[in-house]
């Protein structure tokens, strides 16, 4: 330990509970490894509501908690109550331990004043929320984002999950550390004689079954595996039953219906949870191991099977190819036929089997728990150093000025419209030497993403593609790109363009004027026309006296700010928004009104919006949302406008325009209710209300950092009730409904 500072560690061991899942095994092995590590000067284990002496005591404490949780009604309320109680007990008992590093190996941190580390194993609650109990999804939606923000370091099991946290949740890459899991020495090849007693106890034959080890829950894809197995020739099924090891999970009724006929014929065997002493033997005695999960952050059973000398079939999705390398068969987990063919090859292709066994052993040999513990200790040291650096920031720290001319970053967000995105990219070619192009794909289908990827290679080889596997929305997509480009000191401005827009030649001159210092704007926009013809699409944002924003269509209206479809932000604005409010775009908005929210917060911080009456772009409009004023637009547009109002508009402005505000929302309910959209209207106002407390909490910060008087904000509010023609069109809709009712 020469030259090293000893570590003091608090490990949360809640996950060590029955039945012991992969996270439980990981936590147990960490606890055992940290107890033996010479770098650890003190180790404290906290489980459920108290300190425990070791992992075995944790197991007993957690068994009681799990038993109570299974029978409690109102599970979501009970879970939140238990979490709050546990947090309070921990905070009180750990208040003198701020010299320790707290590690939460199961996603969510408890409150703590010292350095903090959390392990995030996956984001399946976002990728496949339908496969989880609703209370778990809501719990992680509420508690994981604060953990990601508060942790000094974050551990992930695979590079795949690291990239997901960056691209989907916008986590700072410098916080993330990939620490793979390990496999215990008990998982090793065995001979038939050594396995005989254990196999007899479970009614199994040596090399006489196919094995899957997984909790019986939808994400493990056991339904498709059973369907694929059932499609194998009868002779194979008779000779090799499918043995399912793992506790019952949730949402498994459909799986049970699929299994029962096969189980009656002896073709499927469910062993349930198997004791630690027996499991390695059951692995090593199987003819093959199948694990076609839809999504894993790591997939510990894959390591256990390879280390046991068993050929493996798994998915070509998520982290699984990363874990198995070239040692396993990887198939499309959504294709039952591909799984069936893979199973047949796993059984019958002797040449492949003979090379798969040593390849699997070699692959698994690189993953040990001692390696996991050593890497985790390094993360603890990094977290402690980062916490210290944050506590004592360097004075007068400045970013090194770029050597060359200033550049702009251009950001496009794509969602299943690769053709439009590539058309937009083509229109920017004249600026190639002065811009950094970042395209964010927000969960497009595979075909669209492939078209986008290949098109960018041809049209703009230096373009950066951030591909999120889920639709994170326009706001989050912009944030991902902005965080990335602001690390480049040469970037002085960020230009957002709707991907279904095309830049005009005038945009190049306008942008270069800003980059070269001929024009200095905080945030700026200009005239945008429809894609065809000379009809105005937008002259920026107008904020009307009804306190609802829309596209500005009249130059007489005050200019509130640029629309996100064509908006230029100076670096100083983006950095100020991030510093003052913790984000640039509010990701809870998803899309619509997020540009109004940014414009309002920038205005409150003292920045001035600038408009140029030059045609900067042509815009197709609503290519990603389906076109027209549909339910999606209605819901997000009105809900988000209410949230922006609660967050940003000074109280004096709200009171002054309260009659107009009430009138327009009464009109929205009446107009869209009569058009058969009452359910959408109800949902948007309900959800606006549900989010109101969160917005009001943000309001305190936003109004506290306000740098302009209320009258300056009011100067940017239009005297119009709403955009031109709104009242006329609303009355026309009402009259049409009344006439139709009279005829009936």
Separation of alpha carbons 383 and 728, rounded Å: 61
Instruction: Give the chain's length.
Output: 744
What phi, psi does 528 have (nearest 5°)? -120, 130
Separation of alpha carbons 155 and 177, rounded Å: 5
Separation of alpha carbons 316 and 330, rounded Å: 5
Separation of alpha carbons 523 and 104, rounded Å: 41
Separation of alpha carbons 665 and 383, rounded Å: 49
DSSP-assigned letter for residue 561: B
DSSP-assigned letter for residue 373: H
Separation of alpha carbons 150 and 148, rounded Å: 6
- Cβ-in-10-Å burial (0-12, 13-18, 19+) of 41 comes to middle
Separation of alpha carbons 532 and 428, rounded Å: 18
Task: Report residue 615 as tokens.
Answer: 């045609």
- For residue 447, CA distances in Å to 245, 417, 424, 444 come to 36, 10, 19, 8
Separation of alpha carbons 109 and 175, rounded Å: 15
The candidate with the shortest Cα–Cα distance to 475, out of 496, 453, 502, 447, is 496
Separation of alpha carbons 117 and 152, rounded Å: 6
Query: Domains of the chain, with CATH numbers?
Result: 7-178 (3.40.50.2000), 192-363 (3.40.50.2000), 407-731 (3.90.550.10)
To 5 degrees, how large is the angle CA 715–CA 719–CA 724?
130
Decide if 668 contacts 734 (C-beta within 8 A). no
Separation of alpha carbons 654 and 660, rounded Å: 10
Q: What is the pLDDT of residue 77?
A: 77
Q: What is the pLDDT of residue 254?
A: 83
Place of tokens 């002779």: 235
Cβ-Cβ contacts under 8 Å for 556 (sequence gap 6 or more): none
DSSP-assigned letter for residue 72: -
What phi, psi does 469 have (nearest 5°)? -75, -10
Place of tokens 């950066």: 464
Separation of alpha carbons 228 and 337, rounded Å: 7
> By three-state DSSP, how is residue 51 classified?
strand
- Cβ-in-10-Å burial (0-12, 13-18, 19+) of 75 comes to middle
Residue 87 CA neighbour count, 13 Å, CB half: 13
Decide if 232 contacts 261 (C-beta within 8 A). no
- Cβ-in-10-Å burial (0-12, 13-18, 19+) of 260 comes to exposed
Cβ-Cβ contacts under 8 Å for 396 (sequence gap 6 or more): none
Q: What is the pLDDT of residue 395?
A: 42
The secondary structure of 601-662 as a DSSP string is HHHHTT--EEEEEEEEEEE---TTTTSSS-HHHHHHHHHHHHHHHHHHS-HHHHHHTHHHHH
Q: What is the pLDDT of residue 1?
A: 44
Q: What is the pLDDT of residue 70?
A: 59
Decide if 717 contacts 658 (C-beta within 8 A). no
Cα dihedral sign, 52-54-55-59 = negative
Distance of CA 560 to the CA centre of its chain: 32
Three-class SS of 689-728: HHCHHHHHHHHHHHHHCCCCCHHHHHCCECCCCCCCCHHH
The candidate with the shortest Cα–Cα distance to 410, out of 426, 398, 393, 396, is 426
Query: b/e for 482-491, b at 16 or more Cβ within 10 A?
Result: bbbbbeeeeb
Residues of the chain with pLDDT below 70 are 1-4, 63-76, 390-403, 622-629, 725-728, 737-744
- For residue 564, CA distances in Å to 88, 317, 429, 733 come to 43, 34, 21, 30
Decide if 293 contacts 315 (C-beta within 8 A). yes
Separation of alpha carbons 327 and 313, rounded Å: 9
**Quick one: how many helices (H) and strands (E) in the chain?**
29, 24
Where helices occur in 505-556 by DSSP H, the ranges are 505-515
Separation of alpha carbons 441 and 546, rounded Å: 35
Cβ-Cβ contacts under 8 Å for 267 (sequence gap 6 or more): 229, 230, 237, 238, 241, 242
Place of tokens 């959209």: 677
The candidate with the shortest Cα–Cα distance to 442, out of 294, 625, 640, 631, is 625
Bridge partner list, 442: 468
- Cβ-in-10-Å burial (0-12, 13-18, 19+) of 589 comes to buried
- For residue 501, CA distances in Å to 19, 447, 555 come to 54, 22, 21
Bridge partner list, 290: 313
- For residue 587, CA distances in Å to 214, 476, 592, 710 come to 34, 5, 11, 26
Q: What is the pLDDT of residue 2?
A: 44
DSSP-assigned letter for residue 218: G
Decide if 504 contacts 566 (C-beta within 8 A). no
The secondary structure of 548-610 as a DSSP string is -EEE---TTS---B--TTEEEEEHHHHHHHHHHHS-SS-GGG-SSSHHHHHHHHHHHTT--EE
Separation of alpha carbons 552 and 263, rounded Å: 66
Separation of alpha carbons 437 and 632, rounded Å: 29
The two beta strands, 501-503 and 609-619, are antiparallel
């Amino acid at each position: 330990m020469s030259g090293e500072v000893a570590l003091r560690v608090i490990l949360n061991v809640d996950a060590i509970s029955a039945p012991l899942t992969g996270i439980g095994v990981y936590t147990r092995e960490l606890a055992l490894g940290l107890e033996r590590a010479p770098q650890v000067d003190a180790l404290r284990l906290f489980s459920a509501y108290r300190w425990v002496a070791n992992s075995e005591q944790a197991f007993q404490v957690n068994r009681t908690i799990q038993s109570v949780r299974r029978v409690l009604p109102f599970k979501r309320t009970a879970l939140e109550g238990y979490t709050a109680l546990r947090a309070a007990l921990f905070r009180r008992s750990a208040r003198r331990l701020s010299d320790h590093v707290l590690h939460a190996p199961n996603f969510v941190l408890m409150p703590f004043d010292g350095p903090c580390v959390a392990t995030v194993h996956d984001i399946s609650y976002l990728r496949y929320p339908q496969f989880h109990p609703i209370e778990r999804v809501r719990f992680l939606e509420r508690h994981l984002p604060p953990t990601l923000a508060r942790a000094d370091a974050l551990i992930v099991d695979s590079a795949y999950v690291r990239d997901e946290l960056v691209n989907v949740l916008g986590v700072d890459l410098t916080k993330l550390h990939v620490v793979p899991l390990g496999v215990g020495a008990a998982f090793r090849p065995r001979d038939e004689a050594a396995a005989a007693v254990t196999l007899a106890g479970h009614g199994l034959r040596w090399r006489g079954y196919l094995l899957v080890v997984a909790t019986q829950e939808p994400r493990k894809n056991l339904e498709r595996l059973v369907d694929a197995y059932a499609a194998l020739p009868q002779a194979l099924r008779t000779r090799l039953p499918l043995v399912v090891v793992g506790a019952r999970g949730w949402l498994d009724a459909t799986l049970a219906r699929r299994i029962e006929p096969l189980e009656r014929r002896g073709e499927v065997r469910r062993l349930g949870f198997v004791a630690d002493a027996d499991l390695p033997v059951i692995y090593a005695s199987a003819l093959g191991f199948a694990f076609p999960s839809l999504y894993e952050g790591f997939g510990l059973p894959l390591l256990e099977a390879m280390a046991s000398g068993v050929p493996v079939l798994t998915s070509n999705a998520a982290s699984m190819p990363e874990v198995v390398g070239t040692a396993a068969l990887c198939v499309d987990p959504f294709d039952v036929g591909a799984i069936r063919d893979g199973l047949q090859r796993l059984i019958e292709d002797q040449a492949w089997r003979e090379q798969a066994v040593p390849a699997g052993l070699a692959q698994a040999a690189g993953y040990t728990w001692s390696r996991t513990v050593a890497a985790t200790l390094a993360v603890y040291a990094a977290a402690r150093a980062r916490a210290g650096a944050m506590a004592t920031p360097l004075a007068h720290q400045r970013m090194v000025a770029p050597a060359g001319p200033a550049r702009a970053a251009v950001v496009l967000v794509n969602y299943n419209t690769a053709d439009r995105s590539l058309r937009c990219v083509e229109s920017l070619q004249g600026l190639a030497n002065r811009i950094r192009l970042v395209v964010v794909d927000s969960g497009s289908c595979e075909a669209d993403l492939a078209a986008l990827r290949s098109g960018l290679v041809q049209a703009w080889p230096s373009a950066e593609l951030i591909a999120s596997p889920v639709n994170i929305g326009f706001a989050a997509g912009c944030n991902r790109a902005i965080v990335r480009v602001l690390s480049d000191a040469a970037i002085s401005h960020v230009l957002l363009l709707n991907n279904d827009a095309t830049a005009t030649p005038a945009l190049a001159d306008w942008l270069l004027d800003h980059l070269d210092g001929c024009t200095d704007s905080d945030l700026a926009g200009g005239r945008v026309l429809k894609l065809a013809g000379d009809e105005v699409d937008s002259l920026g944002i107008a904020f009307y006296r009804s306190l609802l924003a829309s596209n500005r269509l009249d130059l007489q209206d005050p200019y509130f700010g640029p629309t996100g479809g064509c908006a230029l932000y100076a670096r100083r604005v983006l950095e100020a928004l991030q510093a003052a409010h913790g984000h640039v775009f509010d990701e809870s908005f998803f899309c619509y009104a997020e540009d109004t929210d940014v414009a309002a917060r920038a205005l409150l911080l003292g920045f001035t919006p600038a408009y140029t009456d030059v045609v900067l772009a042509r815009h197709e409009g609503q290519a990603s949302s389906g076109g027209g004023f549909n339910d999606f637009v209605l819901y997000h547009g009105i809900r988000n406008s209410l949230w922006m109002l609660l967050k940003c508009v000074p109280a004096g402005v709200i009171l002054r325009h309260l009659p107009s505000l009430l009138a327009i929302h009464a009109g929205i309910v009446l107009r869209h209710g009569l058009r058969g959209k009452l359910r959408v209207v109800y949902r948007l106002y309900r959800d606006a209300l549900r989010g109101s407390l969160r917005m009001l909490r943000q309001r305190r910060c936003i109004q506290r950092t306000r740098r302009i008087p209320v009258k300056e904000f009011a100067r940017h509010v239009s005297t119009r009730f709403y955009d031109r023609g709104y009242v006329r069109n609303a009355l026309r809709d009402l009259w049409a409904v009344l006439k139709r009712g009279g005829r009936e």
